[in-house]
Amino acid sequence: MNVVLWDRPIRAGGNLIFGPLAAKEFMATGWSEAKNGDFAAALTAILAAIRGKGSPDFAREHFEKALVSAELI
């Protein structure tokens, strides 16, 4: 498992998310009921980044898109 921090945190639901691990935690505990394809794509990208199999920047992009889709930012 890779501990990776993003260059800039993302504000989501009153929280600052600093990297893929925090994003995964937020998706598990702080997400609204609005889980859709953007949520699934973000989770897949985040898990890949945590495992060192994907780009943290790619995960961030998908996480932000999912947040917008769920109206959490």
Q: What is the pLDDT along the chain (73 residues), one digit of tens a residue?
A: 557 889 999 998 788 999 999 999 999 988 877 788 999 999 999 999 999 999 999 999 999 999 999 888 8
- What are 50-54's contacts with CB under 8 Å, separation 24+? 50/1, 50/2, 50/4, 50/20, 50/21, 50/24, 51/1, 51/2, 52/1, 52/2
Give domain status of residue 6, yes or no: no
* Domain span holding position 18: 13-69
Q: How many domains does the chain have?
A: 1
How far does the chain reach from its first CA to its final CA, in angstroms? 28
Residue 57 lies in a domain: yes
Is 62 contained in some domain?
yes
Q: Is residue 8 part of a domain?
A: no
